[in-house]
């Protein structure tokens, strides 16, 4: 998912040779608005791709200026954009707030704002147009703040940059989940150039000084080119080459800069999860998979001119320095975050291992200055492993994301909990944005004796897989899975497999509904890559997860309630683990369980686990053993 990394950037881009990884990644709203400091430099999540199919032609006249300044620009450029008629006042308010964020150049916050509105009104054309405009601006700002991208901009020859774009187009043609809309990708590339020519960051980095007359004339010529039909990757590359020559001739923009804008726009225009990855971003993706990086060890997102700490990794430098979940970072190294863009503020947190950064953290209006050292951080694949209710033998494990080591670490945790008297298990997938498809399958296979886990279907037959459970080594412990609206992708694969196979209860709120699989493809130049949607996934019952999510059979509102101790000890004699080993019976008595933070979902999950253990004891297995 996308995702801002505090991993130490490599100064010289290198070509990375590796096999394609199949990811069920986090959704854009997290993957692009949550900045995981162990994931690739995205604003984290997410590089923001286009979420919906819209007409790019309108972007030429929308321009890179905020709404208040657009009238002057559209009068001097063709075609003149006529704003769509707005419906009710609620939408007017959404657009007005979006315009305010755009005028402040808070593109990341604007993207989040529009994406949330589009989840409620996905067909609204005005929201689609403003959302895509914000994404193009945000993508540009992020790339030009990325050191590896700036270096590739300076070192790639026009021939190499053109070859990079053609390679990307051919990978899209071969692997993308549906037939690409080549004409649209051409138009979006031209729109990205149009926006760049009006952006100070782009013009300064490329040494451009354009008069209003030059810009107006060039936009008109760009628009005329977009009317040409484009079919297939080779014609798309030829179109980009013609635009590159045109812009170079009119304003002396290097052709490599045009090709790179087309590359990012094409990848980002496919869907909300596909994206172009700079060399640093690609390295960070692999660090996320491996579960290690150099940084502070926090996950954050933009929040009204500050950086909101969403999660602090246990044992990280940030935790040792005193940063807590829910803190707001309002200053970095003496500079207020209000005077910085989200990317600028987040970039100031990055640095070499062993260096330190000063931050001002705010909690409930109280501010404190902290110094945090950048260090190597191991991201735990599991958190909070414990017997949360000793009397009833209810174990708890949180899986924050499905990474390479999750299956192995879960095995060790389960055996440890088994030895401590585990009689039922609560697996917490709330906030889990996804991760490796294979990791989710492996974890599901630990709890399913037979039946399907997930199936994937793509445009290419090589993307079609049916994953099945295996009998050996199955844990038969009663299971409860906690989910919420931020549980996405790989976590939805696991939850749907448990639900459809009637293996356990699903407790909480409906999951996000991100039902696609992405592959990571390295490209041949500048150490760059592409994250490409290759397939959709379906639950064992054939249900499409995308846009639907997993609906809990025990729904719980997100509001927290007062914690209540569980007063009914369960007389479960034993729990049978793989191989038939039994756990020791804990002492009977009243549970002293308390739900940290008065967590209503966790409390309901524990109660469901207790009930499931009682039912398991009352229904012996066919062979007469306790299940």
406 burial (CB, 10 Å; 0-12 / 13-18 / 19+) is buried
Return d(Cα 273, Cα 420) in angstroms, integer. Answer: 42
Instruction: Using alpha carbons, select from 407, 380, 388 the residue that is nearest to residue 312.
Output: 380
Active site (annotated) includes residue 301: no
Return d(Cα 439, Cα 452) in angstroms, integer. Answer: 15
Instruction: Using alpha carbons, select from 169, 187, 190 the residue that is nearest to residue 274.
Output: 169
* Residue of 487, 489, 511, 516 marked active site: 489
Return d(Cα 538, Cα 516) in angstroms, integer. Answer: 9
Place of tokens 């491996």: 290
Q: Would you give the DSSP letter of residue 578?
A: G
Alpha carbon 585 to its chain centroid, in Å, reads 42
Query: Phi/psi at 314 (nearest 5 deg)?
Result: -55, 135
Which strand (E) or helix (H) includes residue 217?
helix 212-225
Is residue 34 within 8 A of residue 300, CB to CB? The reply is yes
Is residue 272 within 8 A of residue 132, CB to CB? The reply is no
* Residue of 343, 500, 505, 599 marked active site: 500
Return d(Cα 78, Cα 63) in angstroms, integer. Answer: 11
* Residue of 514, 516, 539, 591 marked active site: 514
Is residue 236 within 8 A of residue 169, CB to CB? The reply is yes
- Cα 257 to Cα 62, 345, 377, 423: the distances in Å are 22, 25, 35, 60
End-to-end CA gap in the chain: 38
Which strand (E) or helix (H) includes residue 522?
strand 516-522
Question: What is the b/e burial string over 461-494, where b = at least 16 CB atoms within 10 angstroms of the residue's CB?
Answer: eebebebebeeeebbbbbbbbbbbbbbbbbbbbb
The pair of structure tokens assigned to 3 is 């995702």
Which strand (E) or helix (H) includes residue 426?
strand 424-428
- Cα 232 to Cα 65, 169, 186: the distances in Å are 33, 8, 10
Active site (annotated) includes residue 514: yes
> Cis omega (within 30 of 0) on the bond before 79?
yes
Query: Dihedral angle at the C-alpha atoms of 93, 1, 484, 125, nearest 10 degrees?
Result: 30
Return d(Cα 180, Cα 169) in angstroms, integer. Answer: 9
Is residue 374 within 8 A of residue 356, CB to CB? The reply is yes
Q: Please give the positions annotated as active site.
A: 489, 500, 514
């Amino acid at each position: 998912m996308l995702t801002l990394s505090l991993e130490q950037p490599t100064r010289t881009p290198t070509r990375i040779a590796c096999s394609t990884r199949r990811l069920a990644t986090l959704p854009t709203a997290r993957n692009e608005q949550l900045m995981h400091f162990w994931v690739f430099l995205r604003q984290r999540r997410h590089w923001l791709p286009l979420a919906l199919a819209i007409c790019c032609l309108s972007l030429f006249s929308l321009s890179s200026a905020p709404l208040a300044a657009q009238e002057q620009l559209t009068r001097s450029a063709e075609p003149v954009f006529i704003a769509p008629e707005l419906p009710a006042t609620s939408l007017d308010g959404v657009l007005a707030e979006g315009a305010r964020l755009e005028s402040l150049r808070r593109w990341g916050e604007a993207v989040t704002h529009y994406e949330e509105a589009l989840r409620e009104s996905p067909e609204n054309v005005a929201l689609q147009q403003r959302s895509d405009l914000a994404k193009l601006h945000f993508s540009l700002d992020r790339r030009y703040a990325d050191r590896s991208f700036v270096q590739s901009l300076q070192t790639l020859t026009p021939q190499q940059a053109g070859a990079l774009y053609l390679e990307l187009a051919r990978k899209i043609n071969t692997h993308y989940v549906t037939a690409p809309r080549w004409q649209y990708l051409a138009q979006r590339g031209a729109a990205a150039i149009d926006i760049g020519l009006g952006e100070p960051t782009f013009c300064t980095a490329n040494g451009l000084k354009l008069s209003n007359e030059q810009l107006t004339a060039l936009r008109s010529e760009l628009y005329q080119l977009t009317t040409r039909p484009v079919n297939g990757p080779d014609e798309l590359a030829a179109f980009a080459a013609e635009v590159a020559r045109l812009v170079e001739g009119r304003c002396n923009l290097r052709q490599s800069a045009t090709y790179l804008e087309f590359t990012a726009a094409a990848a980002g225009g496919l869907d909300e999860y596909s994206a172009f990855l700079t060399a640093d971003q690609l390295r960070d993706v692999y660090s996320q998979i491996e579960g290690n990086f150099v940084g502070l060890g926090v996950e954050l997102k933009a929040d009204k001119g500050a950086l909101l700490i969403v999660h602090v990794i246990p044992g990280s430098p940030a935790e040792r320095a005193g940063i807590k979940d829910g803190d707001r970072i309002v200053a970095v190294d003496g500079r207020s975050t209000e005077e910085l863009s989200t990317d600028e503020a987040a970039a100031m947190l990055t640095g070499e291992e062993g260096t330190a950064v000063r931050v001002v953290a705010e909690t409930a209006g109280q501010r404190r200055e902290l110094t945090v050292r950048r260090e190597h951080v191991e991201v735990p694949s599991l958190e909070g492993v414990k017997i949360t209710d000793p009397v009833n033998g209810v174990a708890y494990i949180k899986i924050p994301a499905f990474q390479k080591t999750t299956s192995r670490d879960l095995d060790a945790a389960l055996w440890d909990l088994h030895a401590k008297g585990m009689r039922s298990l609560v697996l917490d997938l709330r906030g889990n944005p996804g991760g490796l498809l294979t990791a989710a399958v492996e974890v599901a296979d630990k709890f399913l004796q037979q039946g399907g886990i997930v199936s994937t279907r793509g445009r290419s037959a090589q993307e079609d897989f049916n994953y099945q459970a295996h009998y050996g080594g199955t844990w038969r412990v009663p299971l409860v899975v906690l989910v919420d609206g931020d549980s996405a992708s790989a976590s939805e694969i696991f939850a749907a497999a448990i639900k459809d196979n009637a293996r356990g209860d699903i407790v909480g709120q409906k999951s996000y509904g991100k039902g696609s699989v992405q592959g990571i493809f390295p490209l041949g130049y500048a150490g760059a890559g592409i994250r490409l949607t290759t397939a959709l996934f379906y639950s064992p019952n054939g249900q499409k997860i995308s846009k639907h999510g997993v609906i809990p059979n025990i729904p719980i509102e997100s509001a927290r309630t007062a914690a209540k101790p569980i007063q009914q000890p369960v007389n479960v004699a034993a729990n049978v683990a793989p191989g038939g080993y039994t756990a020791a019976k804990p002492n009977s008595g009243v549970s002293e369980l308390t739900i940290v933070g008065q967590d209503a979902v966790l409390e309901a999950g524990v109660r469901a686990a207790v009930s499931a253990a009682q039912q398991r004891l009352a229904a012996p297995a066919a062979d007469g053993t306790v299940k």
